[in-house]
Structure 1
Amino acid sequence: MRSICAMRSLLAAAAATAGPTVLRAGAFPPRPPLLSLPLRRVRAAGNMLGAARSASAAAQSRIGGEAEVRASLSGEIHVIVGPMFAGKTTALLRRVQAEAGNGRTVALIKSNKDNRYGLDSVVTHDGTKMACWALSDLSSFHDKLGVEAYDKVDVIGIDEAQFFDDLYDFCCKAADCDGKIIVVAGLDGDYKRKKFGSVLDVVPLADSVTKLTARCELCGCRAFFTLRKTQETKTKLIGGADVYMPVCRQHYMDGHIVVEATRIVLDIDRSTVTAQALK
């Protein structure tokens, strides 16, 4: 008990005589100058940005004329697709004739495989026609036309584009490098609804893509597909209404069932005739 009282007395005396606790400045390490490093970095970044802007301005000044030339040669690619009898050629001719009416020099190309209405004109199903170049490949167009005449052409229309194997390369060069406006018209799918030629390959290059529809010959609804009415199985078969008809989805499926049934019957008849002839 005495020891406890003596301890309390000592603590009270210490509290009465002691002053407030003071921490020396050296007791803790000084704070780092947090703002000094970022400020230096900001100044350095600002200097670098200014230098970059100056360099960019100088570069633009040096190549200004070259950039203007490239801008003036900026071409376009417009793609028109759809089934047969959808009016693709009509839309192509309207676009090309409108460009000619605006004072541009135009040229029209079609595949020489399509000789239904002659080789010297692109002709629609209703008889509208326009003079054209009939070529086996697009790469020959530049040479056949001549350098000087080619340079003067502003707009190039391509009909039946599915027949040109070099369509993609031609469109790339003509639009990207030569500054031409290219209007492509062709089938996007064959009678099996498979990709036809290179028309769809040009879609990623295109400024615009127009999908036209026809009218189903069996029900009058919108027709998205082309039905082949003959037994021929090769993909590239030139023909008109005697060979093809536009149909809706339902009649495309029904029509193929009929065509396949007809093929089977004809095959059986031919086999029967052959077997009888061999007896």
Structure 2
Amino acid sequence: MLFSEHNFTQRGPAYGSIEVICGSMFSGKTEELIRRLKRAQYAKLHVEIFKPAVDKRYDDRLVVSHDSNSIPSTPVEHSSSILLLSNDTQVVGIDEAQFFDEGLTEVCVNLANKGIRVIVAGLDMDFKAQPFGPIPHIMAIAEHVTKVHAVCMQCGAPANYSFRTSTDTKTVLLGEKEAYEARCRRCYYNLTNY
């Protein structure tokens, strides 16, 4: 049960929050996550950062943006590990949240109800333009949602679709510019058979 009384601290309701940064590939989601987390560190807040263990594209332990900015993180296999590793934390950052299990929604609620600021970044849609993983549920319960846009690699318009250039049809395919292009709605649907 997501919103039960036991999710609050003994002092009464705490004032945590959930923020979501979402968009397509190459839209700057991780860049914005890193920016917010570094500002929290600059404010001398205790920050913990997590990413799915499966994401090893740039580094096993660092969260790295396409612009090569990075911040240390803890890779975890399951969302429940985030709760176990977030003691005495004031801000929790979660990158590539679409790759986590559906339990991530409840983890975010539990953390926020303990007074923690939770910042989640991830793809809101998969390459078939379908809601991706737990992100849509977390967006629904978040206090703040920021949708960032890339630039369409076909026409230069604002892009919010991740077009897969490879023929692989698995939902989860870790890749970068060799496997994906950012596309606007017109270019995505004009060039897609999904």
TM-score normalised over the length of structure 2: 0.91
On the 8 A contact 1:227/1:255 being kept in 2, the answer is no
1:19-75, CA deviations, whole angstroms, 9 ceiling, x for partnerless residues? xxxxxxxxxxxxxxxxxxxxxxxxxxxxxxxxxxxxxxxxxxxxxxx999225x321
> CA separation of 1:68/1:135 partners in 2, compared to 1, >3 Å: closer, same or farther?
closer
1:187-213, CA deviations, whole angstroms, 9 ceiling, x for partnerless residues? 000011001001010122211001111
2: distance between equivalents of 1:129 and 1:142?
23
On the 8 A contact 1:159/1:186 being kept in 2, the answer is yes
User: 1:108-147 counterparts in 2 under 5 A?
Assistant: 108-143=49-84, 145=85
Residue number in structure 2 paired with 1:170? 107
| Higher strand residue share | 2
Residue number in structure 2 paired with 1:208? 144
1: distance between equivalents of 2:133 and 2:9?
35
1: distance between equivalents of 2:65 and 2:147?
17
Among 2, 24, 27, the alignment partner of 1:86 is 27
Q: Secondary structure at the match of 1:151?
A: coil
Q: Secondary structure at the match of 1:78?
A: strand
Corresponding residue pairs, total: 186
Residue number in structure 2 paired with 1:48? none
1:210-265, CA deviations, whole angstroms, 9 ceiling, x for partnerless residues? 111100011111111110001111101110010000011111122215xx8xxxxx
2: distance between equivalents of 1:206 and 1:251?
30
Indicate the percent of aligned positions where both proteins have the same amino acid.
36
Q: Does 1:247 align with 2:178?
A: no
Superposition RMSD on alpha carbons, in Å?
A: 1.8
Q: Using CA pairs below 8 Å that are at least 6 residues apart, which structure has the higher relative contact order? A: 2
Q: Secondary structure at the match of 2:50?
A: strand
Q: Secondary structure at the match of 1:70?
A: coil
| Structure whose alpha-carbon radius of gyration is higher | 1
Q: Runs of at least 4 residues of structure 1 off by over 3 A?
A: none
Q: Secondary structure at the match of 1:92?
A: helix
Residue number in structure 2 paired with 1:160? 96
Q: Does 1:193 align with 2:135?
A: no
Residue number in structure 1 paired with 2:12? 70
TM-score normalised over the length of structure 1: 0.64
2: distance between equivalents of 1:117 and 1:224?
23
Among 87, 90, 101, the alignment partner of 2:42 is 101
Deviation at residue 142 of structure 1 after TM alignment: 3.6
On the 8 A contact 2:79/2:100 being kept in 1, the answer is yes
Among 183, 191, 195, the alignment partner of 2:119 is 183
**Structure 2 unaligned runs (5+)?**
1-7
1: distance between equivalents of 2:75 and 2:188?
32
Among 155, 160, 174, the alignment partner of 1:224 is 160
Deviation at residue 93 of structure 1 after TM alignment: 0.6
2: distance between equivalents of 1:200 and 1:82?
11
| Higher helix residue share | 1
2: distance between equivalents of 1:141 and 1:81?
20
